Amino acid sequence: MMELVWPARKYLTAYAQALQQGWSPDNLRPETARDHLASIAEDADAFIAAQVDRDAHGKPIVLPDGSVVPRLPGFALWMWDGDFCGSIGLRWQPGTEELPEYCLGHIGYSVVPWKRRRGYATRALALMLPYARAEGLRHVELTTDAANRESQRVIEANGGVLLDRFDKPAAYGGAESLRFRIPLV
């Protein structure tokens, strides 16, 4: 059974192998895989520690168009079924459910291609919701491309309700997208 684990040295080799095989934890910015491999090579312990940044002390975030924006508080958990399966991250602004325009949602996830269609994204999202509640959020918002029916099903299976259709900001390519909300209270 797939579970969420905190990033740790004992999982790092499998994480790096997934990156080397072309998987990226960022669906919108594939070059994140290269950046993570470089960070791991430079200082693996610092890379692991940076996966949990509740105070937003880490480096700024590079958007798909190359622009740079401030980091939000957040953390990543890794999907594990005896081997690495993917990652899921939570980000927020302290004291509010509102997000800056450049942040498309509270939660983002990515499953490695060779473990898709096993329900891992649905389970990972379900397991992440209590963490969001523990951070004081009353709801989370997630976005997906309008054509990504698989991700829409993951969100809907976890209680997601469609809020609106919108065009992503130019930094993300402007594609038509859907915004969902999952109530936590």
pLDDT on residue 63: 87
Residue 148 lies in a domain: no
Q: Is residue 175 part of a domain?
A: no
pLDDT in tens, 118-146: 999 999 999 999 999 999 999 999 999 99
- Which residues lie across from 164 on neighbouring strands? 179
Would strands 84-91 and 107-111 be described as parallel, antiparallel, or unpaired?
A: antiparallel
Q: Give, in order, the Cα–Cα distances in Å from 99 to each of 102, 155, 183.
A: 8, 18, 16
Say how many domains are in the chain. Answer: 1
DSSP SS3 for 140: strand
43 located within any domain: yes
What pLDDT, on the 0 to 100 scale, is given for residue 172?
Answer: 87
pLDDT for 131 equals: 98
- Residue 144 has a pLDDT of 96
d(CA 118, CA 63): 29
Point out the residues of the chain with pLDDT beneath 70: none
C-beta separation of 54 from 74 below 8 A: yes
pLDDT value at residue 69 = 95
Structural domain containing residue 73:
3-138
The CATH number assigned to the domain holding 119 equals 3.40.630
